[in-house]
Amino acid sequence: MAITDINEYAHLTDADVEALGAELDALRREVEADRGERDVRYLHRTILAHRALEVVGRLALLGSHKRSLWLLGTTALSLSKIIENMELGHNVMHGQWDWMNDPEVHSTTYEWDMVCAAPHWKHSHNFIHHKYTNVVGMDHDVGYKILRVTRDEEWEPRRLFQPLFNMMLAASFEWGIALHDLELKEVIKGDKPKEVAIPQIKVFLQKAAKQVGKDYILFPLLSGPNFRRTLSANLTANLVRNLWAYVVIFCGHFPDGAEKFTVESLENETPGQWYLRQMLGTANFKAGPAMAFFSGNLCYQIEHHLYPDLPSNRYAEIAERIKDLCDKYDLPYTTGSLMVQYLQTLRTINKLALPDRFLIATSDDAPETASERRFAGMPNAGGLKTAIAELRARRRNRKRR
């Protein structure tokens, strides 16, 4: 159901994959050698925008008894939290700015403005997710252990509630991320040692208490008689940030064309095949400069997964080179509008809530899960390439519509 032979699915030889990997390595070295002052300016402006919006938001909420100031404060605070979460926290902790040797924006020292503790996120995201991207059973971000997003996972009766779970996850996304690496279910079952789990839980509780105290006690108290209005503004800002982060991340991993892989696909995986898995397992969405900025440049999810530790402000220019490589090697470059990508994701989540007997497409040729086995019985490589070309043409036409 998921891809096992990545070369066969991509119709590339070992030599092709090695050459692709070499070109991607060369592109990395080129960008690394070019990092400098313009990147530093971009980062400093981002930090300034985040801080200025937070100051404006906090000051406006001091007068939040006026509806206009409540709206101004809530909007400014929401944008500030989005920038800090997406363009700063996420990217800083990937090590994108470690080359500056600035402790304020170094991956080893940064702590972000959300309930998830930085060390827990770096383990579940940087180590597990980016290493085992979309490998079913290895990458815990495939459905976040809550949602069924591929038919490789067996249907269970609890999946009927999946649409509800999806809405709950979206609204409380920072809490879902915070609990993700704790693996509380494994602790209860005894599969995770308590001597490992208890220190992690303590770190989580400390971080959560700090965040709750700041947003829901300290700043509302500083507003004096506007306590309740400031409290509601902070709740709203965190909700907006959660929903936006959820949409951006889901649109990068679960629309049609973001393929899944079996554990067997990792056997003897070469660096070139790792690159290829990132390209096939992720998706972009179309965005102008403003939307790209507020998404943390994760509208370029393909480029991010190829180079998670390169500065995010370079992804737009890298994307043009990646498109050229996709054309050269006849590979898909999965992208579409934000609305299309999310609606495809939502369709997958809702339909996989149902038992497989109610689904129409075959398990190897479904929009959300493809495999090299869809080409079983093809007489030759030419037939395989023709089938792939036709499939991609249909996808391109669907996106144009």
pLDDT digits (tens, 9 = 90+) for 104-126: 999 999 999 999 999 999 999 99
pLDDT of residue 378: 52
- Whether residue 149 has pLDDT greater than 90: yes
Mean pLDDT of 221-250: 97
pLDDT of residue 377: 53
Q: Is the pTM of this model over 0.75?
A: yes
- Whether residue 393 has pLDDT greater than 50: yes
pLDDT of residue 388: 58
Dihedral class, residue 358 (left if φ above 0, else alpha if ψ from -120 to 50, else beta): alpha
Q: What is the pLDDT of residues 61-92, one digit of tens each?
A: 999 999 999 999 999 999 999 999 999 999 99
d(C-alpha 187, C-alpha 253), whole Å: 28
Q: Residue 306: pLDDT band by 50, 70, 90 thresholds?
A: very high
- Whether residue 341 has pLDDT greater than 60: yes
- Whether residue 391 has pLDDT greater than 90: no
Share the mean pLDDT of the chain: 92
Mean pLDDT of 308-328: 97
